[in-house]
Amino acid sequence: MSKEGKQSVAESTSAESSVLVGRSDHALDPKKRLTIPSGWRTDMGNPKFVYVMPDRKERCLNLLPKAEMDVLLSKIREKALFDPALNRIYQVIGAQSERLDLDVQGRIRISDRLLQFANLTTTVAMVGSFRMIKLWNPAALAPVDEVDVAALDAAFEAAGL
């Protein structure tokens, strides 16, 4: 857990079975770098790089560990290799995504175009979403010190649980 007590990470035996949960708000540094919390880095298997892409439905970014990008790519690869539609899928996803190396302090530098897409200017709300981390403008979310039971209930209902 971070010093602020805002983040928790489920224990796991491997990066593939890790569960990323909690919320941690971090400031972009003067060079617009974002530090991935050490607990999440550990839970992702201390990666050398991660992938970032815009969310398809909301104005946030999805930060994916390599294992999750591999799952996405394996679903796409189920189609024929020389299928023109498949090649277009690869091109669109590739053009909208970034592979970001982590420095020794666990920082990444997301491109200005993706930061602008998600309206990330000074502070980023990093939200664990089980298999990935969602990067939000904090103003788009409920305050970190509130518990939104109605949203939790709606999420469980939508999942059929």
Q: What is the CATH number of the domain that holds 131?
A: 3.40.1550.20
Domain contains 105: yes
Beta-bridge partners for 134: 62, 127
- Most distant pair of Cα atoms in the chain: their distance: 51
Please give the distance of CA 16 from its chain centroid, rounded to a whole number: 15
Report the domain count for the chain.
Answer: 1
Report the predicted TM-score, pTM, of the whole model to 2 decimal places.
Answer: 0.79
Q: How far apart are CA 110 and CA 31, in angstroms?
A: 10
pLDDT per residue over 16-45, tens digit each? 557 889 999 999 999 999 999 999 999 898
pLDDT per residue over 88-119, tens digit each? 888 888 899 999 999 999 999 999 999 999 99
Cα–Cα separations (whole angstroms), residue 36 to 19, 124, 136, 161: 15, 11, 14, 31
Domain contains 60: yes
Domain contains 77: no
Domain contains 78: no
86 in Cβ contact with 80 (< 8 Å): yes
